[in-house]
Structure 1
């Protein structure tokens, strides 16, 4: 694997039902222009569908990546060294962290149509953000990628102490 190759990548695409709704928005725009004739009707259909499709596409273009020791979630770039242990959240626990357990200071990459998530503490003392909540369809893979990307733990030793022998 190349050093800058992503260890994990996911795109949080919008569900198919949203694309159907985008098409129905185009039909609604066309029906509003029906009294004006056939050409405005066609323009409303094409324009309304295109506008709604752009909104759905932009909302569903968010990416999550773990690359070169950095968690990239949407616009956020968090070094893995500033992260604690990731916690996989099932649908019920993820819902609780979106509602009554949520902290307003937290970074939340939230997509309501994705039931599972990963919550990872931010351990940087200079950052007021307590944790990152990231919606993901494959929380186990994201947790594994964050674990692989973390630097090895350094044993704390006093001055002049040698590392413990390994058997």
Structure 2
């Protein structure tokens, strides 16, 4: 039974940044052809948006497992969770990050959830997941762990 599902879509401002490829291409191609600049800019903007949408990871808590992107871990091997926002989230994603941690990060999503693992055979000490609803994800992990 699925208790949590989130597709971490790109933020709307990513589209604005992608559209900046159009005027940049127009300026670059202006000496050759304005039409070519518009076409190249449109293709670049569409490509950036397509890549952002296709790379959006899915986080699911279901059937005793936590799945984030292509990785999965049994809920029984999760020791705890910690929600971070703002400066604390930046530290968790940067200076305080263990190089062995598993990451599913989106640069345009501020909140993160740290998921501590208790598997002695796994070299990964914890996961750091970008999520727009970290409290709900943590509750789904705790709720399923307690009933499993």
TM-score class normalised by the smaller sequence: 0.7 to 0.9
Measured in 2, the distance between the counterparts of 1:127 and 1:43 equals: 49
1:90 shift after superposition = 3.3
C-alpha change, 1:44 and 1:99, in structure 2 (3 Å) is closer
For 2:110, the equivalent position in structure 1 comes to 115
CA distance in 2, matches of 1:90, 1:13: 18
Indicate conservation of the 8 Å contact 1:64/1:73, yes or no. yes
* Secondary structure, aligned partner of 2:138: helix
- The corresponding residue for 1:129 is 124
- Contact 1:86/1:143 (CA < 8 Å) preserved in 2? yes
Residue 36 of structure 1 and its aligned partner are, at CA, apart by 2.9
TM-score of the two chains, using structure 1 as the length reference: 0.77
Question: Unmatched 5+ residue regions in structure 2?
Answer: none
Match of 1:17 among 13, 31, 38: 13
Q: Does structure 2 conserve the Cα–Cα contact (< 8 Å) formed by 1:19 and 1:56?
A: no
> Over the residues paired in the alignment, what is the CA RMSD in angstroms?
2.0
Question: Contact conserved, 1:121 with 1:132, CA < 8 A, in 2?
Answer: yes
Q: Does 1:32 align with 2:51?
A: no
Q: Helix, strand or coil for the counterpart of 1:124?
A: coil
Higher relative CO (CA 8 A, sep ≥ 6), structure 1 or 2? 2
C-alpha change, 1:49 and 1:114, in structure 2 (3 Å) is: closer
Could you list the per-position Cα deviations for residues 1-29 of structure 1 after superposition, in whole angstroms to 9, with x for gaps in the alignment? Answer: xx3xx211112222211101111113322
Max radius of gyration: which structure?
Answer: 1
Aligned partner of residue 72 in structure 1, secondary structure? strand
Distance across 2 between alignment mates of 1:89 and 1:41: 43
Aligned to 2:48: 52
Deviation of 1:100 after TM superposition, in Å, equals 2.6
> How many residues of Structure 1 are paired with residues of Structure 2 in the alignment?
148
1:150 paired to 2:142: no
- Shift of residue 132 of structure 1? 0.9
Unaligned stretches of 5+ residues in structure 1: 154-167
* Higher share of residues assigned strand: 2
Name segments (4+ residues, structure 1) moved above 4 Å.
none
Q: 1:38 to 1:102 in 2, by over 3 A?
A: closer
Q: Secondary structure at the match of 2:82?
A: strand
